[in-house]
Homo-oligomer: A and B are copies of this chain.
Amino acid sequence: MKLYHSPASPYVRKVMVSALHLGLAEGIERIAASPSPVKPDPVLSAQNPLGKLPAAVLSDGTLLVGSRTICEYLAAQGSDPTWLPAPGPARWAVLELHDLGDGILDAALVARYETFVRPEAFRWADWVSGQMLKIDTALARLDSMTDRLQGQLNLGNVTVGCALGYLDFRFAHHDWRTANPRLAAWWADFDQIPVMAQTRPA
Chain A residues packing against B (C-beta within 8 Å): 37-40, 45, 49-52, 58, 60, 62-66, 68-69, 72-73, 75-76, 87-89, 92-93, 95-96, 99-100, 103-104, 106-107, 110, 118-119, 122-124, 126-127, 129-131, 133-134, 137-138, 140-141
Q: Interface residues of A: mostly helix, strand, loop or mixed? A: helix
Measured in the bound complex, the distance between the Cα atoms of B55 and A92 in whole Å is 13
Q: List, in ascending order, chain B residues with CB within 8 A of A133's CB.
A: 40, 51
Q: List, in ascending order, chain B residues with CB within 8 A of A89's CB.
A: 60, 62
Measured in the bound complex, the distance between the Cα atoms of B40 and A133 in whole Å is 9
Q: How far is the CB of A144 from chain B (nearest CB, A)?
A: 10
Measured in the bound complex, the distance between the Cα atoms of B124 and A103 in whole Å is 24
Q: List, in ascending order, chain B residues with CB within 8 A of A52's CB.
A: 103, 134
Q: How far is the CB of A77 from chain B (nearest CB, A)?
A: 9
On whether the beta carbons of B68 and A134 are closer than 8 Å, the reply is no
Q: How far is the CB of A125 from chain B (nearest CB, A)?
A: 9
Q: How far is the CB of A158 from chain B (nearest CB, A)?
A: 17
| Given contact pairs A76-B88, A92-B64, A134 touches B103 in the complex (Cβ within 8 A) | no
Q: How far is the CB of A156 from chain B (nearest CB, A)?
A: 12
On whether the beta carbons of A124 and B122 are closer than 8 Å, the reply is yes
